[in-house]
Every structure is written in C-alpha cells, then in structure tokens.
Amino acid sequence: MASFPPLQNDRLLRVARGETTDRTPVWMMRQAGRYLPEYQEVRAEHDFFEVVETPELAAEVTLQPVDRLPVDGAIIFSDIMTVPQAMGLEVTMVSGQGPTFPHPLETPDDLERLVEPDVGDALGHVFEALTVTRQKLEGRVPLIGFSGAPWTLMAYMVEGGGSKSYRHARAWLHRHPEAAKDLLRRTTDVVVDYLIGQVEAGAQMLQVFDSWAGLHGPDTFRAFCYPFLDEVASRVKSACPDVPLVVFAKNAHYALDALADTDYDVISLDWSMDPGAARDTVGDRAVLQGNLDPCALYAPPDALRRRVQHMLAGFGPHHHIANLGHGMLPDHDPEHARVFVETVHEQSEQMRTV
Amino acid sequence: MASFPPLQNDRLLRVARGETTDRTPVWMMRQAGRYLPEYQEVRAEHDFFEVVETPELAAEVTLQPVDRLPVDGAIIFSDIMTVPQAMGLEVTMVSGQGPTFPHPLETPDDLERLVEPDVGDALGHVFEALTVTRQKLEGRVPLIGFSGAPWTLMAYMVEGGGSKSYRHARAWLHRHPEAAKDLLRRTTDVVVDYLIGQVEAGAQMLQVFDSWAGLHGPDTFRAFCYPFLDEVASRVKSACPDVPLVVFAKNAHYALDALADTDYDVISLDWSMDPGAARDTVGDRAVLQGNLDPCALYAPPDALRRRVQHMLAGFGPHHHIANLGHGMLPDHDPEHARVFVETVHEQSEQMRTV
C-alpha cells in the first residue's frame, strides 16, 4: 500500500467506529456532482464515464466539494455501474435517462455473456483514482469508497436502466429464482474483490449502496437481498477489519433490525425513517447515518436550519454521521449545502454543551 | 338515487364493515386493464381517456374482469387524473410515459389557472359510468369508486407527469409551503365532492389512492399529506356513513398507526409491509387490505399458490380483504390472476375450518 499524508480530521472514522467526538461529522451523498458549477465545467469538456475512467479527472471532481465546503469526508467520484461494466456488460449514459444497458440480461441464458473479471485489470482506473485522490486530499478528510450492492446491480443488469417498477428484474426472482441467485453470487464475488481493492488503493471507509432494496417485500428481501449484503460485509470485514463499512438499503424499512446484526458498522437511513424509532430498533449495534430529506435543501436558509436541528435532535449527539436521506439533486444551490454542513457542525457542538 | 338490482355477493362490504365471513373477499387493483386481451381489443379502437369518458365503454371494461374471474368486487375503470382535469388542467396520455400535463403548475401564481369545478358538470361522465356499471353488474359484486388523494394529485399537477424523484412537487413543500397547502385544500374540496357524487351515482365502497405518500418523510407527511387524507375521510363519512372507505398510502410505512385513527375503515398495504406486524400496529381499529407483491404473479402456479397461502396466514382469516400490494402489470398472465383469486377463496375457507 502506498504511504499517504497523515489524517487531520478523523471525526468521520471515529464516529463510524463507535467513538464519541466533539461534533457530528457530515458529508452528502452525491456531494461531487451536477449541482456544483465547477463540476459542470469539467463535464462540459468530458463525458460522464470519461470522468469516472480518468483518475486525474475523478480526483479533481472528488475534491471539488471538499475545497468548497467544510465536509468531513470525500467520496470518490465514480458510479455503481463500474461493476456491471467489469462483468462484461456495456453501459452508456443517456442524457435524461441515466445509465442504460443496450444489451441487458433478458433470460438466464444471458448469464453466459458475463465474465469473471480480474478487478485489478477491469477496475484499475477506480483504484488509481482513489490513490491519486488520497494523495491530493493531503489528509484533510478521509476518503470513502463505494460499490453497488448485488441486488441493486442485478436490478440494473436485468432491467437495462432506470425504471418505475423494475418489473423485469423482479420477475426474475419469481420466474428464475436459481438463475437470480447465481447472478447475485457472481456479482457478490466481484463486489467483494472490488471493495477490498479500494481499501488497498487508499479508501478509508466503504459504503454499499442497495438503492433498490425497497423494491422487495420482507420475503424476497430475505431470499435475494439480505444474504448477499451480509456476505459482502463479512468477507470485506475479515480482509479489512479496521475499515468502517456503511450500508444504505434505501426504503427497506422492514430490514433495519436484520441489518443491525451484520458486519456493517454504520446503517445509512433514507428520509422516510424516523431517527428516534430507528435508534430504538438498532440500539448500540450500529452507528446511524442520514437522513435529511434532500428536498429540504430547497427551503430558505432559516427553515433549512430548523429542519437540520430537528434531525440532529432525533438522532442525538453521538453515534450519528449526518448526511442526506438520498443524494444531492442537480438543481440544489451549493450555498444551501453549506447551510446544511455548517448547521450540523454548529448545532451538534451546542448539543454537547447542554 | 337510482334503484339497483339487489347485491348477491356482499362479502367485500361485510368484511370492510368489520363483520366476519365464510371466506376472504378478493379483488385486484388495476384488475380492469392492459393484461386482459379483451381490454386491449377495446383500446385498439378507443384511446385511454375516450374509454374513461364514455360511460358505456368504461362500464364494459369495468365488467371484463368480473366476467372472467371470480373476484368479489368491481372497481370502476377511470383514472385519478379526472380531478386535475376537472380543476382545469389539461392531461394527455403519452404512450410509455403515462399521464402528462403539458402545462403543469410551475409556481404559486399558476394556482390562478385552477377552476373550482361543479363536479356534476365536470365529472358527470364518471358518475354516469358508475350508474351504468352498477346496473350491468346486476348485483353480482359491489362496485368500488375511487379518487386520488390530495397530495398525490398535487404531485402530478406540479411535476407534470411521472418522475423518479418528484423533486419539483417536493420542492414546493419547502419553497412554497403556504401555496402548497392552498392547493391541497382546494384539491381536497373537489375530492370530497367527487367521492360523495360517486356514492350517489352507485359506488358501494370508495378507495382513496395516495400513490405517492411514500415520497414523504414523517414530518412532511404530517404537514402536507395526513391532514388532507384525514379530512377527505371525515367529510365523506359524515355524508355517506354506510359506505366503507379504503385508504392506500403507498410506501408510507411510518403512517400506519396514524391512519388507523382516521375514518377510513380499511387500510390497504403495499407489499413492503409485513402483514403480522401491520396487524399488531393497527389492532381492531381498521380492516387490512393487500398485499401480495404483484410480481409474485410472474411465478409458476404452484409457487404462486404458496405465496398466496403465506400472505393469508400472515393476515389471518378475518378483517382482511385480499388484494395485491400494487396494481396488476401489463404483462401479467390473466390465468395467474385466476390462480391468485381462486387460491384466496380455497385457502381462506380452509383456514376457517382449522
């Protein structure tokens, strides 16, 4: 492993490991992205996957929110589609539609088209981006790596892109349950290698995005989602015991208790979850992350501050990483992101003095 | 009110009123629709809103699933967009995109474009469709009317159509909270008149669809969703005390306890909700409806039967109306819908003999 500058602000990692800190750390999902004019400038010259695949560009974009805002972490600019790409599927970014697969997995026979990648070859650009970014961060804040979760990646690979119902992917669970599990197992293997490789390249915390977990009911979650999420955590944890793991199983409200029994250190909550109720369910089994409704950033600053304060009060001062309940939106005002971050810092320090 | 043929199968209404029956009644959201070849035949000659607006065609399509399957209820073929149309907004059906507003409500000033309709004039075609359908049903099963809920209608009116995030509509809640409440109040008034008019025209049970309730977190649900849902129920109930009211607040998992304290007799659950846990929360305050994952209908018949049986066991034999957790999908096999309905009847009778 390369040697990196010493870390100056380690609040994020300390809270993720269950320690207490002088204030609540904060970062934002999609904090590097379209709402930043400096990101738009980069994208005016380079298309989306060119930025993802060019380590210097990915590093530049990753650092933009850290240069602008007092966030307590940097998340590598990348995309969950890197894993399906590494498994041999073509993905293109279609403006207004998001990532799209020209040739999705339509039937179980299509599994033959998948390859078992060497992640160092297929995803070396992400590893290099992490190493370059970690150097350029100069220890200001920790660097977060990430991957899509097996089910969410399967949902895209079968559906072929964004969808309201993901009914093709969900149909597989009922029509081809064994092929679905085969696909999920193969995806799990790649995700595990990918996350371990990210740590070797410089990632100091890892988040697993199960963005489509909420498409399940409790039964299919138990059969097709949870086992693979759980396996990712236990295998990555045994390889990298010191690296905090975060899981974001969006809208899987019924899964909170089960997720608290996995090797994830942190459970990230979407904005539908009541912080106090979540704390009651999870107890001291995991740290909680989240969960301001991203649309609250549309509010005028004073109303936004009240909402942040209300959220912080719900979670309490400790064992909480402040974040949004989903990603930043393209028309958010960067100055409202600043209000969010600064209010978390100010209010969470005050909460500790009461 | 017109006189109608006497009702022969009243299980649906009896269960909705809290009575016990010899078997569990069952119907399916979107049971009249694209998965039926006989519906496709009608649509080959008439566009979507032409069917909605022509009482004889709406009645024909409403009766199709009742003629084909032993369902215990008929739901009028219509669309929740009838209310925004009555309020003066143009809605067109765009193939592959669903209902679309060429001129959505972009700013609070646009509220001036809304009209306060006389529902008898603006929505008389729906009332007439109900009366014709009720006659043609000849008392075989009860006729269900419906409306969109105020928040869900606002979401469409502001967003202008289907969307992944509904961020324009959600932004209003934070940018223009008073204008949002004004819009919701005005929509509530129309919804109330519309539902009462449906009863006068022949509807025997009413369902309020808050399809986008799940876009809220607990706080915005309390401010912008619940009060209007609650008001619809109390005003319709005082006008029509004998007509069972059903609420379907999709994905608002945190709202179950609060909904049980309203005047809705029945709470319809999406498939993310565990039936046993929902029963524990609701107790005897409401009857439950739902909630098989519509994608389970893609399973082979034997697997589908096991899933139906599992669902019935979760709800128990009484105070349950079997349904899906969301609507039928266009590529469902009508014969699998038959398996669903027949399994509910067979298994629920057996459950009562144990």
The tokens of A42 are what? 């980069």
Residues B246-299 pLDDT 10s: 999 999 999 999 999 999 999 999 999 999 999 999 999 999 999 999 999 999
Yes or no, beta carbons of B271 and A217 under 8 Å apart: yes
Choosing from B10, B11, B23, B30, the catalytic residue is: B30
Yes or no, beta carbons of A307 and B219 under 8 Å apart: yes
Q: Judge whether A164 is closer than 8 Å to chain B, CB to CB.
A: yes
B96/A163 Cα distance (integer angstroms)? 11
Q: Is B315 within 8 Å of B275 (Cβ atoms)?
A: yes
Task: Please name the residue ranges forming H helices in A123-248.
Answer: 124-137, 150-159, 167-175, 177-201, 218-224, 226-239
Contacting residues for A331 by C-beta, under 8 A, at least 6 apart: A35, B167
| DSSP letter, residue A297 | G
Q: What is the ipTM of this complex?
A: 0.94
Q: Judge whether B329 is closer than 8 Å to chain A, CB to CB.
A: yes
- Res A95 pLDDT > 90: no
Measured between beta carbons, the chain A residues lying within 8 angstroms of B273 are: 217, 254
Q: Judge whether A313 is closer than 8 Å to chain B, CB to CB.
A: no
Residues B109-150 pLDDT 10s: 999 999 999 999 999 999 999 999 999 999 999 999 999 999
Q: What percentage of chain A carries pLDDT values higher than 70?
A: 99
Confidence of residue B165 (pLDDT cuts 50, 70, 90): confident
Residues B90-112 pLDDT 10s: 999 888 788 999 999 999 999 99
Count how many pairs of residues, chain A against chain B, have C-beta atoms within 8 Å: 93
- Res A1 pLDDT > 70: no
Q: What is the mean pLDDT of residues A246-266?
A: 98
Q: Judge whether B332 is closer than 8 Å to chain A, CB to CB.
A: no
How close A295 comes to chain B (CA, Å)?
A: 6
Q: What is the mean pLDDT of residues A285-295?
A: 98
Confidence of residue A72 (pLDDT cuts 50, 70, 90): very high
Measured between beta carbons, the chain B residues lying within 8 angstroms of A167 are: 294-295, 329, 331
Return the CA Rg of chain A. 19
Q: Is A125 within 8 Å of B123 (Cβ atoms)?
A: no
pTM over 0.90: yes
Yes or no, beta carbons of B167 and A219 under 8 Å apart: no
Yes or no, beta carbons of A296 and B251 under 8 Å apart: no
Yes or no, beta carbons of B277 and A254 under 8 Å apart: yes
Residues B237-248 pLDDT 10s: 999 999 999 999
Q: Which residue among B173, B274, B303 places its CB closest to the CB of A174?
A: B303
- Res B1 pLDDT > 70: no
Yes or no, beta carbons of A272 and B303 under 8 Å apart: no
Yes or no, beta carbons of A295 and B174 under 8 Å apart: yes
CA distances in angstroms from B163 to A97, B60, B100, B183, B295, listed in the order given: 11, 31, 10, 20, 21
A34 belongs to the catalytic site: yes
From B304, which residue of chain A is nearest by alpha-carbon distance? A174
A222 belongs to the catalytic site: no
Chain A interface, best mutation among B176, B298, B305, B326, by max A CB count within 10 A = B298
Q: Give the pLDDT score at A164.
A: 82
B166/B103 Cα distance (integer angstroms)? 16
From A163, which residue of chain B is nearest by alpha-carbon distance? B164
A264 belongs to the catalytic site: no
Residues B206-229 pLDDT 10s: 999 999 999 999 999 999 999 999
From A295, which residue of chain B is nearest by alpha-carbon distance? B171
A235 belongs to the catalytic site: no
Contacting residues for B306 by C-beta, under 8 A, at least 6 apart: none
Q: Is B138 within 8 Å of A263 (Cβ atoms)?
A: no
Q: Is A268 helix (H, G, I), strand (E, B) or coil?
A: strand
Q: Give the pLDDT score at B257.
A: 97
How close A298 comes to chain B (CA, Å)?
A: 6
Confidence of residue B354 (pLDDT cuts 50, 70, 90): confident
Buried b (16+ CB within 10 A) or exposed e, B57-95: bbbbbbbbbbebbebbbbbbbbbbbbbbbbbebebeeee
**Through-space distance between the first and last CA atoms of chain A, rounded to whole angstroms:** 43
Yes or no, beta carbons of B217 and A277 under 8 Å apart: no
Q: Is B47 helix (H, G, I), strand (E, B) or coil?
A: coil
Tell me the domains of chain A and their CATH numbers.
11-353 (3.20.20.210)
A322/A268 Cα distance (integer angstroms)? 9
